[in-house]
Structure 1
């Protein structure tokens, strides 16, 4: 196979396109397109595919580096044995695409489920259930040394049994496993991140950093090398990541500041997700990327309403200083979870929402979908528009409106060799994640 990294040799089952029945295209992300497929054994799988040419065009200096992230995600997925995390069902490799198959979740994602609620928000009891499962999933990841780094409702799927499943690990990284011995000792009154910045009159560096961030793509291969605005040498962990990575409205302050980050960024993201489930919007969204980053670094979350355990938990999760942010043990012992049986939750037979059985397996398109042509069509447009343009990583929160606004005219003109790309992009159920 051309341009294949040695990591592609894997013990995972190999999938052949000719043995898969493509039922529909489910959606697309920054790096791939996901299809619902049926195997010869009548098993439904979500097949994530990535175009080789797209990887290699962006990594001309070292084509293998483009595959590194794919194989890292594959290795992470193949290690999972947890009811709230996906299992790698097989690896796909052709001359044009690479990818892998995972369990299919018929309930859609948490963001879609929230929007179906009467007021586009969840009740406290429903939030508690999903929060518990998110904590358990993150606890397992951290215990395995994995920092997730992209927790958002679009990456939380609902399984057939109503329990959640975290997906999309291409922004994850591995650090030393989280253990009680590595936890930092909190000081009584440490300086706040932004307060230190303000006291030291770092406004020039501040706006330089924001401009640098706003004019660069958020990706796992980018690092922020600007001056450390808030030095924490006495608190720094030995093992940290400096990659500037994540989804704009969910980024933790320490990622924006470039001081290095560890497992605590996931607890910040959890706070953003809980806030969004409670209020129907993220807490720091600005009119543009620069304003969003400014709000993340300087503004307290607006926790409207009476004081409740949930609002208190969100406040503690959205602590800007990662060394003062609430820890795993404190989260599980928080008053919001006082009645929770942590060992029983994943076995709960009646979660808040259980997907209605569907006959989707029998709804394969009349026309044959050519996966390779379909993916080529999507990324042909993507490559044309990527040149000189900063991607909006919060587009997942705007879905089809941004898709049409950014790509409408060009997508209508793509030659898709009969694979039905235009129809899918026009379909509101085809999501951008």
Structure 2
């Protein structure tokens, strides 16, 4: 079936959707790139600043043909799903979809531009690269509200990490990048069985392959290559939850992925609370709790090792321990999280309206970011992502590095003032 027909089918339900005209957008600067696309800072005709995510259309076409029978490998479905959920959001901590872009060479969409970069960059600016308990409490509470909204909409996020949490101009957070998210049948996440008498059963050893796509902590794990499960599973227990239908996709980011995802026994909304626990641990200690020398060791630690909560008992360390419960049936739920002692002083109804969050980004000199050379979005994305004859997308690291250097030469503000400067060629915003 012709791809154009699929595009019409994907967007048929959105007759009132704003379609962007690339010729009417002023492309100010590239902001970064991910595994699937490049993000640009653009200005609309009315002067509004937006983040435009552009994806090479040919890579979607080729992957779609190669994986037409696989839900998890279907890049086109992922892009459609991401656009659909963005269009459905009405929450101050989630992005608003400002328009869809479709040309012969690229597809994409525009969302809110966050001038404060991401939480990982902000943490690294702190003394000893850690946040205080009070700052962690504010950011953690906002993340709980964002995840609760998603879960109530039937969406499990599955890729919570500091690089996917942006700081808005007003200092409040914004959760971005939903291409690894999925929708689960709408049963309440709170109906999870927590019986202490039900013991997880030990699965017999067997060889089972899982696919993953991996580029350090900045990239998502999704089906592509394969890894053997048997050695990871040998001394581990798996649990079953009957609260919701589960997803069996092997997705996430290496240091944040939940044990139930690695074991392949299915996962539900509770996997997001595991990821929140990893994030809070990193905010408190400056490192993730299960990082090993390589991927295999990291996964082994996630499945078998308890987090090292060094220091005296505090409500925060207690919460982290409950979030990092390996059995998803016993992991703390959103109702219990909101009622936890660590959040005792939080006013959940007004926190997103707090006028003075812990960090307010400085105003960005957008005019100074504009170089002398006009950026051709289509050519730029094509240079960054080459599509080989067999349909495999090659990340053109040399090209993207050269482009970043070109931007640095244009103005020193790319390094000094750019809120989302590319620190390495694996930097992700989405």
Range into which the TM-score falls when normalised by the shorter chain: 0.7 to 0.9
The equivalent of 1:411 in structure 2 is: 399
Per the alignment, in what secondary structure is the counterpart of residue 28 of structure 2? strand
1:126 paired with 2:129, answer no
Structure 1 segments unaligned to the other structure (5+ residues):
390-405, 415-419
Contact 1:224 1:258 (C-alpha < 8 Å) held by counterparts: no
Match of 2:188 among 174, 179, 184: 179
1:29 paired with 2:12, answer no
- Looking at structure 2, the residues matched to 101 and 388 of structure 1 have their Cα atoms a distance apart, in angstroms, of 23
1:218 paired with 2:221, answer yes
Per the alignment, in what secondary structure is the counterpart of residue 376 of structure 1? helix
1:19 paired with 2:24, answer yes
Per the alignment, in what secondary structure is the counterpart of residue 53 of structure 1? helix
Contact 2:40 2:53 (C-alpha < 8 Å) held by counterparts: yes
- Looking at structure 1, the residues matched to 169 and 306 of structure 2 have their Cα atoms a distance apart, in angstroms, of 37
The equivalent of 1:395 in structure 2 is: none
Q: Please state how far the C-alpha of 1:423 moved relative to its aligned partner.
A: 2.6
Contact 2:239 2:328 (C-alpha < 8 Å) held by counterparts: no
- Looking at structure 2, the residues matched to 13 and 214 of structure 1 have their Cα atoms a distance apart, in angstroms, of 34
- Looking at structure 1, the residues matched to 357 and 156 of structure 2 have their Cα atoms a distance apart, in angstroms, of 27
The equivalent of 1:40 in structure 2 is: 45
> Against the structure 1 CA distance between its residues 222 and 412, is the aligned structure 2 distance closer, same or farther, given a 3 Å change threshold?
closer
Q: Please state how far the C-alpha of 1:77 moved relative to its aligned partner.
A: 0.3
The equivalent of 1:365 in structure 2 is: 371
The equivalent of 1:163 in structure 2 is: 172
Per the alignment, in what secondary structure is the counterpart of residue 274 of structure 1? helix
Question: Which stretch shifts more, 335-344 or 360-369?
Answer: 360-369
Contact 1:240 1:261 (C-alpha < 8 Å) held by counterparts: yes
Match of 1:75 among 84, 88, 97: 84
Q: How big is each residue's C-alpha offset from its partner over 1:187-226, in whole Å with a ceiling of 9 and x where there is no partner?
A: 225546xxx54xx6x5x54xx45x7557888216899997
The equivalent of 2:113 in structure 1 is: 104
TM-score, normalisation: structure 2: 0.84
- Looking at structure 2, the residues matched to 112 and 127 of structure 1 have their Cα atoms a distance apart, in angstroms, of 15
- Looking at structure 1, the residues matched to 22 and 393 of structure 2 have their Cα atoms a distance apart, in angstroms, of 35
Contact 2:212 2:224 (C-alpha < 8 Å) held by counterparts: no
The equivalent of 2:349 in structure 1 is: 343
Contact 1:150 1:247 (C-alpha < 8 Å) held by counterparts: yes
Contact 2:29 2:370 (C-alpha < 8 Å) held by counterparts: yes
Q: Please state how far the C-alpha of 1:287 moved relative to its aligned partner.
A: 1.0
Per the alignment, in what secondary structure is the counterpart of residue 273 of structure 1? helix
Match of 1:244 among 247, 250, 253: 250
> Against the structure 1 CA distance between its residues 239 and 372, is the aligned structure 2 distance closer, same or farther, given a 3 Å change threshold?
same
- Looking at structure 1, the residues matched to 225 and 88 of structure 2 have their Cα atoms a distance apart, in angstroms, of 26
The equivalent of 1:89 in structure 2 is: 98
Match of 1:265 among 266, 271, 286: 271
Per the alignment, in what secondary structure is the counterpart of residue 385 of structure 2? helix
> Against the structure 1 CA distance between its residues 189 and 385, is the aligned structure 2 distance closer, same or farther, given a 3 Å change threshold?
farther
- Looking at structure 1, the residues matched to 221 and 308 of structure 2 have their Cα atoms a distance apart, in angstroms, of 26
Root mean square deviation, CA, Å: 3.2
Per the alignment, in what secondary structure is the counterpart of residue 135 of structure 1? helix
> Against the structure 1 CA distance between its residues 386 and 430, is the aligned structure 2 distance closer, same or farther, given a 3 Å change threshold?
farther
> Against the structure 1 CA distance between its residues 296 and 85, is the aligned structure 2 distance closer, same or farther, given a 3 Å change threshold?
same
TM-score, normalisation: structure 1: 0.84
The equivalent of 1:7 in structure 2 is: 10
- Looking at structure 1, the residues matched to 92 and 226 of structure 2 have their Cα atoms a distance apart, in angstroms, of 33
- Looking at structure 1, the residues matched to 61 and 368 of structure 2 have their Cα atoms a distance apart, in angstroms, of 37
Aligned length: 398
- Looking at structure 2, the residues matched to 214 and 299 of structure 1 have their Cα atoms a distance apart, in angstroms, of 22
Structure 2 segments unaligned to the other structure (5+ residues):
215-219, 416-420
Q: How big is each residue's C-alpha offset from its partner over 1:83-126, in whole Å with a ceiling of 9 and x where there is no partner?
A: 00000000000000000000000001000000111211100000
1:275 paired with 2:309, answer no
> Against the structure 1 CA distance between its residues 386 and 280, is the aligned structure 2 distance closer, same or farther, given a 3 Å change threshold?
farther
> Against the structure 1 CA distance between its residues 232 and 319, is the aligned structure 2 distance closer, same or farther, given a 3 Å change threshold?
closer
The equivalent of 1:399 in structure 2 is: none
- Looking at structure 1, the residues matched to 352 and 164 of structure 2 have their Cα atoms a distance apart, in angstroms, of 18
> Against the structure 1 CA distance between its residues 272 and 411, is the aligned structure 2 distance closer, same or farther, given a 3 Å change threshold?
same
Q: How big is each residue's C-alpha offset from its partner over 1:302-342, in whole Å with a ceiling of 9 and x where there is no partner?
A: 11111111001000000000000000111011110111111
Contact 1:107 1:355 (C-alpha < 8 Å) held by counterparts: yes
- Looking at structure 1, the residues matched to 127 and 298 of structure 2 have their Cα atoms a distance apart, in angstroms, of 28
- Looking at structure 1, the residues matched to 367 and 213 of structure 2 have their Cα atoms a distance apart, in angstroms, of 43
